[in-house]
């Protein structure tokens, strides 16, 4: 889930940035420190949006920079368990596919694609279903449910697991087929009831 988080920090403005505005200097420092960072509480910090910098800073003996308290807003992405996400397949492997959701990739294991025997063809970038004949390939868009999230310190990039093994999940074409099929069954039930 994307959100805007308000954070507080103290930034050191080095003497080399004294010629720029305080806000611009602080935002540049915050961008270097926080953007593309993964935090266990906030998730993926995508970008710094705005900052309010205390004009009165502090100096420390022997350090030419000034230290200012700053309150800033950051755009974050925190994947929540059971959340439904839309994504695009960016890579096919022997064990499944990597799906781009927001700023990161999630693993869609072969066992979580559908109830069918699947074969992964890495060279052609496809996953093939034996019985249904359905396929997934690099560039396919799909809807999935998040089943596992690990953003702790042990996972430098974070790990996210997703599934498509539920009704109205999977490739966009599959969902359209399910909707047509279920609306067709509803029409048949209305006719039988009359």
Summarize pLDDT for 149-167 with one digit per residue, the tens. Answer: 888 664 466 789 999 988 8
pLDDT digits (tens, 9 = 90+) for 113-138: 888 888 888 888 888 888 888 889 99
Domain shared by 122 and 43, yes or no:
no
Domain shared by 54 and 130, yes or no:
no
Tokens coding 34: 């926080």
Q: Nearest CA to 104 among 5, 2, 31, 34?
A: 2
Q: Nearest CA to 70 among 125, 26, 37?
A: 26
Q: In the listed set 77, 93, 108, which residue is the last one of a domain according to the structure?
A: 77
Domain that holds residue 58: 2-77
Q: In the listed set 44, 77, 110, which residue is the last one of a domain according to the structure?
A: 77
Contacts of 173 (CB under 8 A, 6+ apart): none
Domain shared by 116 and 138, yes or no:
yes
User: In whole angstroms, what separates CA 105 from the centre of its chain?
Assistant: 7
Give me the pLDDT at residue 188, please: 61
Domain shared by 19 and 56, yes or no:
yes
C-alpha 65/C-alpha 16 separation (Å) is 9
Tokens coding 33: 């420190």
**167 assigned to some structural domain:** yes
pLDDT digits (tens, 9 = 90+) for 59-86: 888 888 999 999 999 999 989 999 999 9
Domain shared by 59 and 107, yes or no:
no
Q: What is the pTM of this model?
A: 0.76
Q: In the listed set 32, 54, 77, which residue is the last one of a domain according to the structure?
A: 77
Domain shared by 106 and 71, yes or no:
no
Number of domains the chain is built from = 2
With contact defined as beta carbons under 8 Å apart, do 23 and 91 qualify? no
- Say whether 158 sits in a helix, a strand or coil: coil
């Amino acid at each position: 889930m994307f959100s805007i988080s308000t954070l507080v920090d103290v930034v050191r403005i080095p003497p080399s940035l004294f010629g720029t505005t305080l806000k611009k200097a602080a935002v540049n420092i915050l961008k270097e420190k926080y953007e593309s960072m993964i935090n266990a509480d906030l998730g993926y910090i995508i970008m710094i949006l705005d900052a309010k910098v205390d004009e009165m800073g502090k100096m420390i003996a022997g350090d030419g920079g000034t230290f200012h308290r700053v309150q800033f807003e950051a755009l974050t992405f925190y994947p929540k368990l059971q959340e439904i996400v839309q994504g695009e397949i960016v890579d096919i492997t022997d064990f499944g596919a990597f799906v781009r959701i927001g700023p990161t990739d999630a693993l869609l294991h072969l066992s979580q694609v559908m109830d069918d025997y699947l074969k992964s063809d890495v060279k052609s970038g496809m996953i093939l279903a034996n019985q249904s004949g359905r396929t997934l390939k690099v560039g396919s868009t799909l809807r999935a449910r998040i089943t596992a999230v690990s953003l702790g310190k042990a996972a430098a990039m974070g790990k996210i697991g997703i599934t498509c093994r539920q009704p109205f999940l999977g490739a966009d074409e599959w969902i359209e087929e399910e909707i047509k099929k279920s609306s067709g069954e509803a029409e048949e039930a209305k006719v039988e009831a009359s």
